[in-house]
Each structure stands twice: as structure tokens, then as C-alpha cells.
Copies of this chain bind each other. A is one copy, B any other.
């Protein structure tokens, strides 16, 4: 609990002025080697570390960047963080992150608190635009993640429409006809995912049945399972808002004795690492989570540096279909098809 030494202590011990010490620490200037030695010695002996708060106050820079995530329990986000962390460190920045999931109510406050401690942030939030505006007006560089930003704010995300569209195409090609979407409306990307899927199906004269989960989580996917599987018009394929929902749903299905993909195909979005280890392995769309974080951080860092022309558009990362075992080609001679079904090729 000893008091931390200040720059003054170092100066006194080294017999120089505090200005000299300051310049030495920041390598702003060189001194005679005698002086440098003395200062360095004093620093070592005192175990002096400069106080970043004081420095920040005056320079206006903190050397840290922040990432605000919705739910750190979702591996998609942790991978985004991993990616962001890597490039932040490469550029000499420390990454601080906060998880807003636990209390949406205090989100703005949390964000505000964080924004004052960093040089810029990557924000992933469901906040309405007008609240967002206040954050943006704060003058800190911000990159929005997972949603398209208003006005001239850079943002990054996957092409959610394309992701869902390719899922639609896959399922139709595999012979599925009754396709359901397990959506989570409050999430920003939900709309685009739903649209992408709908449009794909519409082009084949099909419609999507929408179900609403209570959150983009495993438990919610599990919870909604019975409602979907026991409905009188059971779908033959399910596309989930994300992998978490899909995994939960698969767990629920197993408990209900429904087998995947024999009875029903299921596909997620995100490509979280665990999708490979479910039973069956989850077919999904890779959104390149880590790259998302990396590119987002690059965007942010570029803004902070201010040298390059500020990027203001939306960067869309291309999704990629990941075929695994939770979907399969639906046998042409379908199950409980009652009357004459118009020819289903292949």
C-alpha cells in the first residue's frame, strides 16, 4: 500500500527538473548520457511508472481503445474481440471492453464512461439512433459494428442479406419447402437476415414462417423448440438467427426425439467454433468474426490517426456458406404429403 512515486520524486532523486524527466520518459528529447543515466537509475530504484491518467488529461490521448459488446457469452463476439485485440496491440493500443448485456438500462452510462477513457471505440449496440447520435457527437472516433451507421459514421458488418439469401438457396436446392426462420427482432441484423431469406424463397414461390425467440441465445433456441416442432404445420427446415439459437434448438430437438437432419434440417449463422462439435455438426454461414474485429479496429485506428481520409461508409464482409451435417437433401418422395404434389425435381 505504499504511495506511488511521482515524477517529482524521480526528479528530486535524480537531481534534475521534472521537465527533464518528462521528456526523458517520453523520449521527446535526448540528454547528456550522465543525465539520462541518473534519471533512469532514479526510475528503476523508485519503480516509477508514469500515471497515464495525468498524461491523458493533458495530451488528450489515452493509448487505449474500447470495444462495446452485447454479450460476451456469444463466441461470435468473443472472436470479434480477439480480432480487434490483435490489431489494437499491433498498433500499440490497449483494448478495453465492456459487456452491456447485463444491463441494457445503463448502457448509455457505461458507454459514456468508457468513451472518456479511450481514444475511440467500436460499438455494437441496439441503441436507437438518436441516443447513438449523442455518443457520436462526443467527438470520439467510433466504428459501429453489426449495423449500418447513420450519416458519415464508419460501420462494419457482414452482408446479412447475402448470408440469409444463400441459406435460402441452399435449402430450396436441397428440396425443402416449408422453411421457418427463428428471428430475434430487437437485434439489428435480424431484419436483413429475414429479408434475405424471404427474398430467396420468394423467388422460388415459397414463403417463410417466422418465429420469434426471446434472445439470441442457446436457452432461447432450446425453449422455442417444442413450439416449432409440435406445431401442426411443422417446417422441414429451420434457419436460425444465429448459431447459438441453432445449437439450443438442436438440443431441444434431440430431447424431443426429433432427429436432425433426417426429420428436419437446421442452419445457423455466425460459424462459432462449437458448431463443429454439435451433433450433428451445424451447417452455418461463416461471418468471419475475427476478421470483422480486425477490420473494425483498422477502421477505428485510421480514424484516430486522422492521416488517411476518414472512412465513412459501411464495410461489408462477405459471408461464406459452411456445409456440415445439420442439413441434407430432402428425399423427393416426401413424408406425409397427402395428395398429389406437383413434380419436385431431384
A137 to B106, CA, bound (A): 34
**A265 CB to nearest B CB, Å:** 17
Q: Is A187 part of the contact surface with B, judged by Cβ < 8 Å? A: no
Contact: B96 with A96, CB < 8 Å?
yes
- Interface: A218 (CB within 8 A): yes
In the complex, chain B residues whose CB is within 8 Å of the CB of A247: 274, 277
B89 touches A106 (CB 8 A): yes
- Tell yes or no: A32 within 8 A of B by CB: no
- Say whether A117 contacts B47, CB under 8 Å: no
| Interface footprint category on A | 35 or more
Chain A residues numbered 124-165 whose CB sits less than 8 Å from any CB in chain B: 134, 137-139
B102 lies within 8 A of A89 (CB)? yes
Q: Return the chain B residue nearest A276 by Cβ.
A: B251
CB-based contact A134/B278 at 8 Å: no
Residue of B nearest to A139 (CB): B1
Q: How far is the CB of A78 from chain B (nearest CB, A)?
A: 5
Complex Cα distance A277/B274, Å?
A: 9
User: Binary interface profile of A, 88-101, with partner B (CB < 8 Å = 1, else 0)?
Assistant: 01000011111101
A214 beta carbon closer than 8 Å to chain B: no
Query: Is the pair B279, A279 in contact by a Cβ cutoff of 8 Å?
Result: yes
Q: Which of A98-129 contact B (CB under 8 A)?
A: 98-99, 101-103, 106, 110, 112-114, 116-117
Contact with B along A22-51 (1 / 0, CB 8 A): 000000000000000000000000010101
Q: Which residues of B contact A53 (CB under 8 A)?
A: 53, 56-57, 62, 116-117
Instruction: Let me know if A327 is at the binding interface, CB within 8 A.
Output: no
Q: How far is the CB of A147 from chain B (nearest CB, A)?
A: 22
Complex contact B72–A82 (CB within 8 A): yes
Nearest opposing residue in chain B for A49, CB measure: B112
- In the assembled complex, the Cα of A56 lies from the Cα of B117 at a distance in Å of 11
Shortest Cβ gap from A90 to chain B (Å)? 9
**Given A47-B137, A73-B273, A82-B102, 17 other A-B residues pairs in contact with their CB atoms under 8 A:** A1-B139, A2-B137, A47-B134, A49-B138, A52-B117, A54-B57, A64-B117, A72-B78, A73-B75, A73-B78, A75-B75, A82-B101, A89-B103, A247-B277, A251-B277, A277-B277, A277-B278
9 residue pairs from A and B, CB less than 8 Å apart = A47-B134, A47-B137, A52-B117, A53-B53, A81-B99, A82-B102, A89-B102, A95-B98, A277-B277
Shortest beta-carbon contacts, A-B, top 8 = A279-B279, A96-B96, A274-B274, A52-B116, A72-B78, A94-B113, A251-B277, A1-B139
